[in-house]
A and B are shown apart, each in its own frame.
Chain A
């Protein structure tokens, strides 16, 4: 009854005929629309408590681009069997894989790209959220707050830099400052500690760049910053260290279900079986669910663009600031959510992100409109910043469901399938917490079909922190170089990264064989010359370490070769 009412309301509001049906888990929509924003908006109209939305409304005239698949084809995994397979090597999959290695089970993580952290986990601002903007009774709140509390410990174990730097949300009107008091109250109720309102004088002292317009602010001390890809890599490396197998360039192509179980998984590197399947496939989580004939939610891809600023630019804040709701600007139409200026853990500054709904799950190309829009909106907190300070920008595609909450649960239809879907902001914050619960779900699943799962006695939670020669004292650095002279040979002059650090990343058990992978791990190529000087050298080092020709070295996924061949051979 209620469903048909919504159908009518949608017809009135958007002029679109939507066919809606429901079952015990989901509302299924079909129809056709002329704008993608309308497709998404209609999907949201049907969000109902206790049900998921599966939105199959088509965008008229739109042909979805084929999914990007690895070029590689072999039978590395053919005929193998595993206790658990984790699909997807983002922060969700890697953290889950690591938590699973606490048990005495065989764990396989498959990732279709040539490296982990290639989706949204590699292209976000690295903010560890306090959770002050989260609604009551949602998984985002539960895991966001719990995850935030675990961060310092997890990062210490995994040898990843983390700084609990706090965050100001600045208001340009007294009225909003009053409203902020309810946020303080709500935060206290949600167990977020230390949130308070801050007067004009305090905010202007802490962050002089807002002095011309700030009337007050909200301060959340538990906000932190981390490198999202370094944390993802660290989780993956620790998983491998504890016995997990990570298979890169491996895409799940189909699954075979028998009764209520997945019995066979087909990839470009062979088919295999697993007693439990964990779906951490990010923007493809609903496609994976569909392969298991268990599609009961939809992912609507949302692109966000971040701008990287020259850390030496004038007018930058000291820490993280975002602009609170503004009375003056409330009438502006904007797709931009939260965001602000973030001082990254590496001491760089990011502006962003924005949020643009898109039917493209893999399009991380940057758009002028987003670059201009993010700068215009997010630089409001530091008005004297000039656009010339932007030194790089990147986009990532988030994977929200229509319910805009995490979906972390065992499938009710497929007994050996766990979904970790809809992981968007604050997914990075929440991962240390939800990965533990997911590991529990997997354990229960395995125990239903077999023996009790035992603990892995040799599990070592500590992933040795990669050496960063630049940060050592002179005497420690000297000692290190005397042990291995490669640490004295600087390859990346802008970030001061040595050959030893690059070789260490390549030789790690998880390893890395791409230019961008090296960059994500050791920051070589992230400085002012953006790899202009060191890229050819790193190409040579990778070739030498892997015993391949330099023309076979790739920037990223298979096919992205730096060169098209050796000279004199074309």
Chain B
């Protein structure tokens, strides 16, 4: 079989890109690993999804369902329970091999959209020592246990990491009858959205402890206790501040990493800061014909933007032109900005850019310049690393598009 576009991953980014590519006239195959479409949204049963896009507070499964319905209106072919094992480039086409319950399948395509999502950092990645007991889970695993398998991972819970998923799980486990002893965060500031700190922690009187981390776990079979330590400004544990907290479950919400195994196999260059592919404004990576979107591109905090980048990738994957790429350099206190390249041979008006500040900042100005000329500028009263910002930049106003910079500086 030969398709114009193959989308890998059936979460929010993949669903949006498949629909868009089909609407653009392409023949599309969507390959999904699991038995149902929707990706991680299936287990994100809390609400707050789709406020930007639909003006409604949907739950994760509801948000996914809207896109699944849209997909069913198309002729996009969907292969569920399918896992890509190999992609090679042959005669200007990509040959994708995947396994599914029917056997080993091979398809050819012109374009690949990588919508493979992200994975969680683990216990070992953050050097927690101690016993090998049950009851230590990443937040996503704990969420799956509760919301998909219908079992409780613990009754007395410590949460490490104040990212949104940690906060959401604090509320979820509390609602289901567990005692959440506290949310511990190694950074001096919370990592999740302010709104979630209020509705997930403050509403339920769950304490949050900043500049604190878990250094050790104890438990013969199941977790019995954890050791909490204060950390210094370099996030190193301070000796002598150890404190023992009784808990039968430790939930780790210590960060997400874009899943990029396929991108690596295709030699797609990766941005060291986003840990996702380097892309132009059309979500095309530096390898022609390979696109990346959603959380595989960079970890988003709103699914609305995940869908948006999926649509960008899907819409562009049906176009055909020779690219002329310019680097978009970041200057100042920016954690990162996406896209990292501008293709001056395609549309440069209304380029959507996402960025995060590298630290909590007040009264900042973001400025996009092309050859020294300001093409976009905006002032922010407050910027937080956990809250991604989105701007729309019209580069067509610029006289020339040589050196492009994005600068974050004091107002």
A residues adjacent to B (C-beta < 8 A) = 68, 364-368, 371, 390-394, 469-470, 474-475, 477-479, 481-482, 485-486, 488-490, 493, 496, 498, 528-533, 535-536, 539-540, 550-551, 554-568, 570
Contacts and interface: CB of A to CB of B under 8 A. Distances in A.
A557 B81 CA distance: 32
Nearest to A563: B151
Nearest to B252: A532
A469 B100 CA distance: 12
B230 to A, nearest CB: 16
A392 to B, nearest CB: 4
A555 B134 contact: yes
Interface in B215-273: 215-216, 218, 220-222, 248-249
A185 B154 CA distance: 60
A417 B100 CA distance: 54
Nearest to B129: A366
Given A366-B129, A490-B99, A564 B124 contact: no
B151 A371 contact: no
Contacts of B308: none
B119 A485 contact: no
B141 interface: yes
B122 A532 contact: yes
B330 to A, nearest CB: 23
Given A481-B99, A528-B119, A536-B148, 6 more contacts: A477-B99, A485-B101, A485-B102, A488-B103, A532-B140, A568-B150
B120 A532 contact: yes
Nearest to B128: A366
Nearest to A536: B144
Interface string B139-165: 011001110111111110000000000
A488 B221 contact: no
Interface of B is mostly: mixed
A489 B221 CA distance: 31
**Which 6 residue pairs are nearest across A and B when measured between Cβ atoms?**
A563-B151, A559-B221, A485-B101, A555-B134, A490-B83, A560-B221
A564 B123 contact: no
Nearest to A362: B220
Given A481-B101, A550-B151, A560-B221, A364 B131 contact: yes
A559 B223 CA distance: 10
Contact of B152 (A477, A496, A560, A564): A564
B134 A493 contact: no
A536 B149 contact: yes
B135 to A, nearest CB: 8
Given A366-B129, A532-B140, A566 B103 contact: no
A479 B222 CA distance: 42
A555 B133 CA distance: 8
Given A481-B99, A488-B100, A532-B122, A570 B152 contact: yes
A482 B103 contact: yes
B281 to A, nearest CB: 30
Contacts of B140: 532-533
Given A481-B103, A564-B154, A368 B127 contact: yes
Contacts of B120: 529, 532
Interface string B151-182: 11111000000000000000000001110000
A204 B294 CA distance: 45
A481 B100 CA distance: 8
B52 interface: no
Interface of B: 33, 81, 83, 85, 97, 99-104, 106, 119-120, 122-125, 127, 129-134, 137-138, 140-141, 144-146, 148-155, 176-178, 215-216, 218, 220-222, 248-249
Contacts of A536: 141, 144-145, 148-149
A564 B153 contact: yes
A570 B153 contact: no
Contacts of A365: 129-132, 216, 218
A570 B155 contact: yes
Contact of A68 (B101, B137, B150, B220): B220
Given A551-B151, A554-B134, A564 B145 contact: no
Nearest to B220: A68
A565 B134 contact: no
A516 to B, nearest CB: 8
20 contacts: A365-B132, A368-B127, A371-B127, A394-B132, A474-B97, A474-B106, A482-B103, A485-B101, A488-B100, A490-B83, A529-B120, A535-B137, A557-B221, A560-B133, A561-B134, A561-B222, A564-B249, A566-B152, A568-B150, A570-B177
A565 B151 contact: yes
Given A481-B102, A529-B120, A570 B130 contact: no
A119 B154 CA distance: 27
A563 B83 contact: no
Nearest to A535: B141
Most buried by B among A390, A481, A533, A554: A533
A562 B145 contact: yes
Nearest to B150: A567
B119 A533 contact: yes
A570 B97 contact: no
Given A474-B104, A529-B120, A567 B220 contact: no
A450 B153 CA distance: 54
Contact of B81 (A489, A551, A567): A489
Contacts of A530: 122-124
Contacts of B152: 551, 563-567, 570
A566 B152 CA distance: 6
A564 B122 contact: no
Contact of B124 (A393, A554, A561): A393
B122 A570 contact: no
Contacts of B130: 365-366
B107 to A, nearest CB: 13
A496 B129 contact: no
B123 to A, nearest CB: 7
A570 B131 contact: no
Nearest to A71: B221
Contacts of A531: 141
A563 B153 contact: yes
A533 B33 CA distance: 12
Contact of B151 (A392, A477, A482, A567): A567
A365 B218 CA distance: 8
Given A529-B119, A567-B152, A570-B152, A556 B83 contact: no
Nearest to B140: A532
Contacts of B218: 365
Nearest to A551: B151
Contacts of B99: 469, 477, 481, 488, 490, 498
